[in-house]
Structure 1
Amino acid sequence: MTKEPVPQGTSGVATVVALGLMSSFGPLSIDLYLPALPQVARDLGVSPGGVALTLTSCTLGLGIGQLVVGPLSDRWGRRRPLVAGIVLFTVFSLVCAVAQTLPLLVAARFVQALGGSAGIVLARAVARDLRSGAELVRLFSLMLAVNGLAPVLAPVLGGQLLRVVSWRYSFVALAVLGALILLLVWRAVPESLPPAKRRVGGLADALHSYLFLIGDLRFVGQVLSGAFAFATLFAYISAAPFVLQNHYGFSAQLFSLVFGTNAVGLIIGTRCAAYVGLARGLLLLTVGAVAVWLSGLTGAGLLLLLPGFFLVGTAFGLCIPSISANAMQAHPHSAGAASALLGATQFVIGGGIGPLAGRGASDGPLFLGTVMTGLALMALAVGWASRGSHPLAEGR
């Protein structure tokens, strides 16, 4: 398939790096904060399930924000909503840093995530403006390779910060990162949607776009498969700090190194996505989830648990580039809305899993493995049912 015209002013590597960092607001918001979850629970006097609400509000904000920003960008262009969102993320990261109660932290995390959602949804929309078909899969893979550095480095940074300062400085670090990403975006990401290609209309037009997309069963199948795959990963993200630190006695620093190692698997997955294919990636995701479940059921513990976590991260990296490309390439004139539905469904479903997975986290991996296995099987079933509709399903 031939390349679509690239808007004048894009700068190759710098643009890819900027798009990858834009899409990293999700992992940055979550992963840098993960090693501190037990400390936050102690400091605020809440349970693991209570502190998991700060993750849930974050993921809900990331999801709901995309539903708003996506259609707005189809009408107004990509840059204005993008800049406004990153500014909002940066300001409310500082509000999170000074929050003294759980309700305030939960609310501030939600607004912070609303801002960060602009980067996530518009990274995909800009990519769709620039490329299509196999070229789009490759661009998504490059973006995810950059984005994949966030879950590697963020928990390590978060764990090291806890050696010398409290969990509040994790949010100061997020504010600094937000400001730096804003500077790079300002220089490297031009407007990719010219006025002639923008949609005209208000709320009714946005709703029409969503209804049209929901009526496309192939699109819905890819979106749901991606949502269940993300929920499998997010169950691990929500519960792993408590399983490894409270049940197995890991320090925050050791946990951050394990989590960063698993994120390397995600990067490997993104680089192999175009060759392995979606069906095999979903199968590997299920194998990893079953390994986590068996670690608790059989008493094998870390011998199965840590490889299971690594397989889940790697498989997620294999799945998401193909799912994103398959879902979006058929809707170039509604790329913002399609990207919004894709991302919002992932974060809303994933956000609902956080408290559920965290409830039994301190008791060990059995409950977590049960949740992850059920979600992975749903991702596999939906993905398998729709795989024949997409040329990117089987890899190359």
Structure 2
Amino acid sequence: MQKIKVEKEVSKGRKNVIILLLGTLIAIGPFSIDTYLPAFKQIASDFKVDTSAIGITLTTYFIGIGLGQLAYGPLMDRYGRRRPLIAGLTLYIVTSVLCGLAWDLNSLAFFRFFMALGGCAGMVASKAVVRDYFDKDKVADVLSTLMLIMGVAPIIAPTVGSWLINSFHWEVVFYSLAAFATIMLVSVFYILPESAQPDPDTSLKPTKVFKEYASIYRNKDFFLFSTARGFAIGALLAYVASAPFIFIEFYGMEEDMFGYIFGGNAAGLILGSQINRLFLRRYTTFQITYAIGALMAILTTGILGYSIFFEAHFWVVYPGLFIMLFFIGFQNPNVTALSLQPFNLQAGSASALVGSVSMIFGSAASWLMAELLVDDLIPLLATVAVCAVCGFAAILVYRMRYAQGYAFAKAYSRHPYQVKHREVSKQ
């Protein structure tokens, strides 16, 4: 597939508009999750089920995202980025309306699955377009910018959702998401240019698609860094799925306060992603990833140990979760960039696979929370601690396999795509 180097062909202002649009497309994901979290009790009351049962609509959504990204990868390599993106947004709009019309829990879970299939088109396209537009040493920085834009969603979404369900009813949340996606669809038509020429040689036969994904996954860099990203997303989505239980049921907060508490914690994602951009000017992508991975493992195991031997006090758990999200704000753009670095012609499929791997981890984590969270926070704290430790283990394996010494000089001399490898090799 021939890439179109838009970076050299458009003005800086136009590139900024494109980045803003890409970040907003990614934000469809967290908006689709966080906006309806405050409505769990209201939905449960209407459908006459327990509040915890509504968690199945999160699980089906995560499964839809995971499977959908695998489909969009080869589609975006074969037909370019825009056409599958437009089709996905259209599907999202239709199924969002159907979610608002759902008549029971099963129908809502079913429509949420297809809503995810449509919404994940923006997630795949955004990462692939960034990989198309920008040089390899700028990808992590641009992805951090997207994290800034995307990070606004989990801050304001629960507050918006609380206002909608209090002023109207929970169905309006999904109608509002359909309206938001309609604006995105119009913006894609008029703002986003095609970044990669369609490649008719890309096969859509299931066996060939599977073989292509298998070849990508066998790449050692991709395998290790996508695994590290998967565990980071697993920790994040375990927290997201547990948030209504943590703050409303366990700590007894009002639904109106939930939006502020949840949004305040989500600000850690933005803060981490933007400080990461500053660190990238001085350190390599991998150096930051390694250090943050170690710190997150220490933090989460420390909170778990404290909560086991003492009380899971709010002022221990809440700041701890904030710092965890702060670290994930570092890790997400960095491990994504490191996962995609080895690929050029397969950028669309690699972008889809890295997202799908993450959603597999996230689906498992959210399902565990729905099954295990009953009357205390230990299952959540144990899950995020295991995710953090395992994610750091994948990063550590990369260091031991490719690097000698803490400066990682040989790793970066062997892999010229790494950020600032020349500067590191001189240290």
TM-score, normalised on structure 1? 0.93
**Partner residue of 1:355 out of 359, 367, 384:** 367
Which residue of structure 2 lines up, in the alignment, with residue 335 of structure 1? 347
- The answer on 1:281 being equivalent to 2:292 is yes
Residue type at the aligned position of 2:204: G
Deviations 1:258-296 (A, max 9, x none): 111111110111112241711222233334433553464
Which residue of structure 2 lines up, in the alignment, with residue 142 of structure 1? 145
Over 3 Å counting, the alpha-carbon distance change for 1:95 and 1:380 in structure 2 is: same
Q: In the aligned structure 2, how far is the partner of 1:91 from the partner of 1:160?
A: 23
Which residue of structure 2 lines up, in the alignment, with residue 28 of structure 1? 31
Which residue of structure 2 lines up, in the alignment, with residue 369 of structure 1? 381
- The answer on 1:17 being equivalent to 2:29 is no
My pick for the range that moved more, 340-349 or 32-41, is 32-41
Deviations 1:178-233 (A, max 9, x none): 111112222221110024x6643332442232121122122111111100110001
| Deviation (angstroms), 1:137 | 1.1
Percent identical across equivalent pairs?
Answer: 31
Deviations 1:275-327 (A, max 9, x none): 17112222333344335534642114101111111012111110011111111
Q: In the aligned structure 2, how far is the partner of 1:294 from the partner of 1:38?
A: 31
Which residue of structure 2 lines up, in the alignment, with residue 293 of structure 1? 304
1:96-175 to 2 correspondences below 5 Å: 96-175=99-178
Which residue of structure 1 lines up, in the alignment, with residue 204 of structure 2? 202
Which residue of structure 2 lines up, in the alignment, with residue 261 of structure 1? 264
| Deviation (angstroms), 1:152 | 1.1
- The answer on 1:310 being equivalent to 2:313 is no
Deviations 1:334-376 (A, max 9, x none): 0111001100011122012212113343512222111211121
Q: In the aligned structure 2, how far is the partner of 1:199 from the partner of 1:253?
A: 53
Which residue of structure 2 lines up, in the alignment, with residue 47 of structure 1? 50
Over 3 Å counting, the alpha-carbon distance change for 1:336 and 1:37 in structure 2 is: same
Which residue of structure 2 lines up, in the alignment, with residue 223 of structure 1? 226
The answer as to whether partners of 1:156 and 1:253 remain within 8 angstroms in 2 is yes
Over 3 Å counting, the alpha-carbon distance change for 1:191 and 1:333 in structure 2 is: same
| Deviation (angstroms), 1:50 | 2.1
Residue type at the aligned position of 1:335: A
Q: In the aligned structure 2, how far is the partner of 1:45 from the partner of 1:283?
A: 44
Over 3 Å counting, the alpha-carbon distance change for 1:4 and 1:99 in structure 2 is: closer
Residue type at the aligned position of 1:358: A
Which residue of structure 1 lines up, in the alignment, with residue 407 of structure 2? none
- The answer on 1:178 being equivalent to 2:181 is yes
The answer as to whether partners of 2:96 and 2:177 remain within 8 angstroms in 1 is yes
Q: In the aligned structure 2, how far is the partner of 1:290 from the partner of 1:88?
A: 41
Q: In the aligned structure 2, how far is the partner of 1:149 from the partner of 1:284?
A: 25
Residue type at the aligned position of 1:293: L
Deviations 1:363-390 (A, max 9, x none): 1222211121112111111122224456
| Deviation (angstroms), 1:392 | 5.1
The answer as to whether partners of 2:6 and 2:133 remain within 8 angstroms in 1 is yes
| Deviation (angstroms), 1:26 | 1.6
Deviations 1:217-251 (A, max 9, x none): 22111111100110001110001211210111111
Which residue of structure 2 lines up, in the alignment, with residue 189 of structure 1? 192
- Aligned CA RMSD, in angstroms, stands at 2.3
Q: In the aligned structure 2, how far is the partner of 1:224 from the partner of 1:148?
A: 22
The answer as to whether partners of 1:38 and 1:242 remain within 8 angstroms in 2 is no
The answer as to whether partners of 1:22 and 1:119 remain within 8 angstroms in 2 is yes
Structure 2 gap segments, 5+ residues each:
281-287, 404-410, 413-417
Q: In the aligned structure 1, how far is the partner of 2:43 from the partner of 2:319?
A: 28
| Deviation (angstroms), 1:139 | 1.0
Greater Rg over alpha carbons, structure:
2
Q: In the aligned structure 1, how far is the partner of 2:25 from the partner of 2:234?
A: 21
Over 3 Å counting, the alpha-carbon distance change for 1:161 and 1:285 in structure 2 is: farther
Residue type at the aligned position of 2:72: V
